[in-house]
């Protein structure tokens, strides 16, 4: 019997390639087990056979994949042609939640030492690293994105965004109070943003196109030029 088995080989410096390889191996469990049939005797080394038959091997492989996958996804998005500022808080939050989940599994405690797990978790919760990756301007873009409206941001982070809006409003000679009011209506879908047609349109438009096409009125026209 001939089995067509093809596995991906990653590049040495590509996290995404390693992740693809692990997913490929995981998806080929049944086919890999068929190569252990008696007719394959002498073809597959005994150490490879014993590895494939170990349940903990597949559990550890899954842990490795679950750790690398959110990082690989974030790299792919951030290096793509459509990367935007508002993607960063979402990607960083996804990396943290997925890694915490992966590191909390029983298989992770077998594969990694408690010291390694603690080091990774400390790195994820490091305030300086979070501040470096998720600067206020990126959180502000996430807050103004009609698809997310700041989903996942804390009250403190929203306040930092408001402080940024105030500085920008003063620089552009806009009414900062009107901006706060508009933001409140935007997040609660009231006032100017209560129109359901507006939100249906926003689902098909990028935020930049939406804000270029549709602009909320200023409550103080004399200062909004």
Same domain, 99 and 188: no
- The answer on pLDDT for 71 being more than 70 is yes
- The answer on pLDDT for 107 being more than 60 is yes
The two tokens of residue 120 are 């990774």
Which of the listed residues 133, 152, 172 is the one where a domain comes to its end? Answer: 133
Asked if residue 169 lies in contact with residue 175, where contact means CB atoms within 8 angstroms, the answer is yes
pLDDT band (50, 70, 90) for residue 222: very low
**How many alpha carbons lie under 13 Å from residue 111 in its C-beta half-sphere?**
21
Same domain, 25 and 112: yes
Cite the DSSP H helix spans in 80-126: 87-103, 106-111, 114-125
pLDDT at 163: 92
Higher pLDDT, 105 or 2: 105
- The answer on pLDDT for 166 being more than 60 is yes
The two tokens of residue 22 are 């692990």
Same domain, 56 and 143: no
Same domain, 140 and 126: no
pLDDT at 143: 93
Specify the number of domains making up the chain. 2
Same domain, 127 and 145: no
Higher pLDDT, 178 or 41: 178
Backbone region of residue 105 per phi and psi (left: phi > 0; alpha: psi in -120 to 50; beta: other values): beta
Q: What is the mean pLDDT of residues 144-148?
A: 89
Domain-located, residue 111: yes
The highest-confidence range among 52-56, 58-62, 207-211, by mean pLDDT, is 58-62
Q: Which positions ≥6 away from 222 have C-beta within 8 Å?
A: none
The two tokens of residue 161 are 């965004």
């Amino acid at each position: 019997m001939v089995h067509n088995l093809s596995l991906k080989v990653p590049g040495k410096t590509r996290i995404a390639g390693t992740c693809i390889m692990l997913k490929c191996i995981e998806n080929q469990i049944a086919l890999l087990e068929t190569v252990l049939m008696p007719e394959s005797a002498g073809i597959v080394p005994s150490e490879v056979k014993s590895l494939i038959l170990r349940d903990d091997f597949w559990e550890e492989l899954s842990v490795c994949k679950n750790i690398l996958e959110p990082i690989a996804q974030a790299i792919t998005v951030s290096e793509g042609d459509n990367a935007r500022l508002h993607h960063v808080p979402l990607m960083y939050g996804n990396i943290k939640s997925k890694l915490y989940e992966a590191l909390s599994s029983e298989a992770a405690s077998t594969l990694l030492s408690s010291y390694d797990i603690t080091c990774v978790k400390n790195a994820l919760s490091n305030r300086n690293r979070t501040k470096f990756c998720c600067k206020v301007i990126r959180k502000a873009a996430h807050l103004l994105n009609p698809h997310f409206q700041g989903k996942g941001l804390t009250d403190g982070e929203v306040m930092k965004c408001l402080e940024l809006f105030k500085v920008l409003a003063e620089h552009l000679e806009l009414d900062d109070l009107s901006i706060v009011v508009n933001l409140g209506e935007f997040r609660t879908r009231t006032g100017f943003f209560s129109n359901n047609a507006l939100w249906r349109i926003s689902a098909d438009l990028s935020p930049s196109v939406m804000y270029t096409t549709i602009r909320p009125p200023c409550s103080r026209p004399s200062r909004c030029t």
